[in-house]
Structure 1
């Protein structure tokens, strides 16, 4: 039996998002045996996207969540709608060839479009705003952004605009950056309220959600897969596993493919209008181009939400606020002493190639995982592709499932030290500007 990964009663951990979440209905745990057409495990973005697409197509869907909707990364992330995968189109082309590069290029804007469509169609109140800025600290960062814009334009994507130092001041009130690029089809929002809105939309389409129902085991080889919890079971025609970093020991063959990595965030006290205008005048969200990056944005109530740092294997620094304050002061020295109201962390699933993984276990079990820190758009897009496959159209699913995945060198014992050494090397390159 896998060890529980939901501490306490599975309530939301303390965060700015949990403190400002919309009210949600009581969703009782799974009780007794249930028979359905499709069962989805995990009520984060991947599971919600899959379930909602299927419900809209008329399928009977039961969604099982170990804690609460959006409890994991989907309710704790930076809230940034960043188009593309963690692995760049250039790296995908170099590693897998031109055909795979062209296929992925046709997908990279889809996740953000799905989010905006959902928000508009279901009137989801999640403070969605436009604009995502990539900030360059070194000349190599600028060259990478120029190459990215050129490559994306080759595939007909004209949403990226390069920014010189002066133009960057129109987006970020800081002298730290020498230039950058804005994605006009990026943006940001309140991630937990987006998840809660998608859950309500799914239920409005006839879907059923059972919270506080950690999965103990799954039978992936049966013709009709079976999901078992402490108090019930679901037998289904098709099963979709969307646990990502929080799947635990339910599926060892999936868990060993990825590594949990923590990222840390904090939210300041509300800024004055003058302070907000000074630090982020265009109200776009920002991430810098370093390997271990800073990312930040303004919330709807003018707090600066600032994130960064990593904990390979899922651990956290001893002093999250102290670490983030130091990082924030390098960007905005005038905010060095500002009050911080919320500090939190969460885990994402890192794949060795930084490319998400999609595939089957057995004949009727589907999965997607390993977004590697770019899960907001990727999970929404993958949810649509998973739903297409369950519905009977496997063209895009089969193409992505055929992309090879690579294990971490040395297996689970060595994946953390190996990745830490790699991160140290790339961080050194960032510091040296090479």
Structure 2
């Protein structure tokens, strides 16, 4: 069966939706209200922003068109991966030393924010420490050696290079010749993290509305956000819809492209099986351009994802796309039953760096994490809260980066991106 066709409590029927923590519902907005800050989007960017602001005493409203964590925040691989989709060495080459120094000073902050939230608000989201970047060839292994040196320069001293023997002891696959273990990485149940943050916002007096899309935003002071049955008047507005943003702000669509990634979760594995796969419970992602990623869940399933569908089309058969990848990595799981299969969209930018900025003095946007959204979106929330409070230096470090339009617009960016991906995938296969 295709899990996409079977919604679960308003979410796609993923493993995460099936194992989500119970919580009191959020109603739709059906009146006119006012607030200090209105956040459009109930994913990590919006939730992190709203929580920082609620902690600072702001009156915050969150509008979510579907359900809290409906998009990428509730469907992703759950891995806490540091830095950005383009690392600091690339940022330095393209944008200069000052930009690299500023962004580098924040590259490990998002993971710390997540851990602090989990501890402060007792969020039950299956946090496990440690993540491995796995190399399939010598070129990738050399890249990991360079990455370790780079990240050491910016303060991450929790890294260990793994040779073939050590990576084999951590990952029960013959595909990898080495790896980099980052103990400041890790993994979580992403939907339960989002739900826990929403509960924290509600506990601080913030107001959250589900089933409430923003239909229009008036660029006035204060701003006015129209919804199907209500209106919000706000001093500040944050647009944080990412890949699930509708046409409420068309200018943002030309600068990015939604892309889909596919994930499956197996039946629960035996003790022998899971100890033969990931004995210490680390999450793993390989170093390919179109990478695979996997980890074990709390109830002992293997969660395996990979591949990209440019333009965010839902594939007809998710299992047919992922099972060959899983079998290549773990041939010992041949024939294992797949209990869940789903897809979700992330937002890709041409630079592969997030896009922060202002559409008006009181109207902000943050989007386009290009596959590195779990940690960076939590950093983004802190930066937006700082900007609202008049301390915009760190927000502006991102806002000053060029936000290039996708070549050919949305229509032609899909085939062009697919052609580029095919080229880099060939390089990965050839190890060059």
Fold conserved between structures, TM > 0.5 = yes
Q: Is the 8 A contact 1:258 1:349 kept in 2?
A: yes
Distance 1:25 1:255 in 2: 33
User: CA contact under 8 A between 1:10 and 1:212: conserved in structure 2?
Assistant: no
Deviation at 1:397, TM superposition (A): 1.1
Corresponding residue for residue 276 of structure 1 = 274
User: CA offsets, 1:128-151, max 9 Å, x none?
Assistant: 000010000011101111111111
DSSP 3-state at the match of 2:66: coil
Q: Secondary structure at the match of 1:142?
A: helix
C-alpha distance after superposition, 1:170-212 (max 9, x if no partner): 2101110000101110000100000000000111111010111
How far apart in 2 are the matches of 1:288 and 1:93?
24
Tell me, what secondary structure is at the counterpart of 2:407?
coil
Inter-partner Cα distance in structure 2 for 1:9 and 1:327: 27
Quick check: 1:132 aligned with 2:131?
yes
Alignment match, 1:409: 407
Counterpart among 279, 288, 307 of residue 290 in structure 1: 288
User: What does residue 76 of structure 1 align with?
Assistant: 75
CA contact (8 A) 1:10 1:67 kept: no
What do residues 233-289 of structure 1 show as CA deviations (whole Å, max 9, x unaligned)?
101000011100011211111121110000000000000111110001110000000
How far apart, in 1, do the equivalents of 2:72 and 2:165 lie?
Answer: 35
Which deviates the most, 82-91 or 111-120? 82-91
Structure 2: which 5+ residue stretches go unaligned? 1-5
**Distance in 1 of aligned mates of 2:74 and 2:393:** 31
Aligned to 2:114: 115
**Range with greater deviation from structure 2 (232-241 or 155-164):** 155-164
Aligned residue runs from structure 1 range 268-347, under 5 A: 268-347=266-345
1:13 offset after TM fit, Å?
0.7
SS at match of 1:212: coil
- Cα distance in 1 between the residues matched to 2:373 and 2:200: 20
SS of aligned partner of 2:305: strand
Relative to the length of structure 1, the TM-score reads 0.97
Deviations 1:355-386 (A, max 9, x none): 00001011101110000011000100011101
| Structure 1 residue 10: Cα displacement | 8.2
Q: Is residue 10–residue 66 contact of structure 1 (8 Å, CA) maintained in 2?
A: no
Indicate conservation of the 8 Å contact 1:134/1:289, yes or no: yes
> Aligned partners of 2:143 and 2:343: how far apart in 1?
29
Q: Secondary structure at the match of 1:145?
A: helix
Q: Do 1:351 and 1:372's aligned partners in 2 also have CA atoms closer than 8 Å?
A: yes
Residues 32 and 233 of structure 1 are in contact (CA less than 8 Å); yes or no, is this contact kept in structure 2?
Answer: yes
Q: Which residue of 1 aligns with 2:258?
A: 260
- Equivalent residue, structure 1, for 2:14: 15
* 1:299/1:305 contact within 8 Å kept: yes
1:196 aligns with 2:192: no
Tell me if structure 1 keeps the 8 A contact 2:354–2:398. Answer: no
Deviation at 1:158, TM superposition (A): 1.4
Distance 2:381 2:402 in 1: 20
RMSD, aligned α-carbons:
1.4
Query: Are 1:170 and 1:282, in contact at CA under 8 Å, matched by a contact in 2?
Result: no
| CA deviation after TM superposition for structure 1 residue 9, in Å | 10
Q: Which runs of 5+ in 1 are unaligned?
A: 1-6
Deviation per residue, 1:63-109 (Å, 9 max, x gap):
11101110000000000000110111111111111111111111111
In structure 2, distance between residues paired with 1:254 and 1:298: 36
Residue number in structure 1 paired with 2:55: 56
Superposition pairs for residues 161-172 of structure 1, below 5 Å? 161-172=160-171
* Count of aligned positions: 428
Change (3 A) 1:116 1:9: closer
Look up the match of 2:356. 358
**Which residue number corresponds to residue 365 of structure 2?**
367
TM-score (norm 2): 0.97
Residues 21-76 of structure 1 deviation map (CA, whole Å, 9 limit, x = unaligned): 01121211011211111100111000000000000000000111101110000000
Partner of 1:405, secondary structure, is coil
